Amino acid sequence: MTKYKWLYMKAVFLIIPMLYGCSTPPAPQDRIILPEAVLSELNKFKVRHWKYIIIHHSGSYKGSASTMDRYHREERGWKNGLGYHFVIGNGKGARNGLIEVGGRWNGQMKGAHAGSDEYNQYGIGICLVGNFDVNRPTRAQISALVDLIKYLQECCNIPRRRILVHKSLKITKCPGKYFPYSEVMSRLR
């Protein structure tokens, strides 16, 4: 009887959520270190089906989710504002390594970051503040990015092969020639 009860519980908590896209993951393991405020924001809503994670740089020296949101609303005319789901600060506008959760994640809305309907609809956009054609991202930014991606991989069942950089989707330099793609990928499952 206990054996069947365990199988039933396993199906309810592990298999069924995978069929419907993302699920709220179990408590993060030691390898995923996200601040409690970020975790509470991530776990606040039922998460829809996502297929990709797409990494960007802002191309600017400084910035934050709020300054990018204002730019996307006022200059680009995007009524939903910030095109990314997450922004990771570099210490010039937002704290170095700070993960800012955007309104598109909270609303589980498609992004406006990839330049492609498929990747905007099913891709989680993460933007690191900085111009990585000029400088490398900070260590704090890379650590935060890796931890966020690990969390999203578990939460949304996104395989490593679907973690992409913007320039792999369209003609752009984003996230820049100094973005350490191999280093980031080597730290993921």
DSSP characters over 115-147: SSHHHHHHEEEEEESS-TTTSPPPHHHHHHHHH
Helix (H) or strand (E) holding 184: helix 181-186
Give the model's confidence band at 46: pLDDT under 50 very low, under 70 low, under 90 confident, else very high.
low
pLDDT tens-digit series, residues 114-155 = 999 999 999 999 999 999 999 999 999 999 999 999 999 998
Q: For 22, what's the count of Cα atoms within 13 Å in the CB-facing half-sphere? A: 25
Question: What is the C-alpha separation between 189 and 180, in angstroms, rounded?
Answer: 17
Single pTM value for the model: 0.80
Give the model's confidence band at 36: pLDDT under 50 very low, under 70 low, under 90 confident, else very high.
confident
> What's the mean pLDDT when you consider all of the chain?
84
Helix (H, G, I), strand (E, B) or coil at 171: coil
**Which one is predicted more confidently, 16 or 36?**
36
pLDDT tens-digit series, residues 68-107 = 999 999 999 999 999 999 999 999 999 999 999 999 998 9
Domain boundaries, the chain: 33-186
Please name the fold of domain 33-186. Answer: Lysozyme-like (3.40.80)
Give the model's confidence band at 47: pLDDT under 50 very low, under 70 low, under 90 confident, else very high.
confident
Question: What is the C-alpha separation between 139 and 141, in angstroms, rounded?
Answer: 5
Phi, psi for 180 (deg, rounded to 5): -80, 70
pLDDT at position 11: 36
Query: Torsion angle, CA of 61/66/71/73, rounded to 10 degrees?
Result: 160
